[in-house]
Homo-oligomer: A and B are copies of this chain.
Amino acid sequence: MAGKKVLIVYAHQEPRSLNGSLKDVAVAELSQQGCSVIVSDLYAMNFEPRATGKDITGTLSNPGFFNYGVEAHKAYKKQSLSSDIIEEQKKLQEANLVIFQFPLYWFSVPAVLKGWMDRVLCQGFAFDFPGSYDDGFLKGKLAILSLTTGGTASMFSKTGVNGDFRYFLWPLQHGTLHFCGFKVLAPQISFGPEMASEEERKRMVASWAQRLKTLWEEEPIQCSPPWYFGQ
């Protein structure tokens, strides 16, 4: 898929981790396809996760009563968001596909990646009212979560202690990505790499590389409750 633009939002501290390898193999495979690939390496960037008044340059619309959502929305329209947010929004605007590569922390993304979502996906840029879900402003783009877990696949099944893995995907895939208009591809979940052998970890990386070869032909999931909670 030569010419396609891919943004990888990557949240792991260790380049030699399985997350690092999964990110590296995605860069290699997609580049080989002729895609242009950009990586936002959040820990290396020391990306700011906290949503505060520092995100708004210039004067606040209501300095006496700080409402982050309202101020960020207005600052987006006035092009007065802080430069790190603007930079990420530009990358996102250009991208045809966004890959989120991260280890599952507490059934969700690590805080540094949560902060990327909280700050970058602001009203006016990623959505508005109207302008959410199928009409979200990032419509036409694809997104995929590629994550590693501490628990095994059986622990993340309907009868496992952690419940089905689809349960924890709801806030991320539906409440965030779908909300902003993304079409969501099925997640790539590498279960329990720390409990796996070196050979099994290599297979996890190879399996992701293999999937990426035909990723552009995949149909997105039907992102609604039955996919997540159906029998």
Contact = CB atoms under 8 A, between A and B. Distances in A.
Contact of A67 (B14, B50, B114, B174): B14
13 contacts: A13-B52, A13-B53, A14-B65, A14-B66, A49-B50, A69-B150, A105-B117, A106-B117, A108-B171, A111-B114, A158-B225, A167-B170, A170-B170
A33 interface: no
Interface in A29-71: 43, 46-47, 49-53, 65-69
Please tell me how many copies of the chain the complex holds. Answer: 2
A187 interface: no
Interface of A: 13-14, 16-17, 43, 46-47, 49-53, 65-69, 105-112, 114-115, 117-119, 121, 132-133, 150, 158, 161-163, 167-168, 170-172, 174-176, 179, 194, 225, 228-229
B112 A108 contact: no
B168 A105 contact: no
A49 B112 contact: yes
B14 A167 contact: no
A51 B106 CA distance: 13
A163 B174 contact: yes
Nearest to A162: B175
A225 B52 contact: no
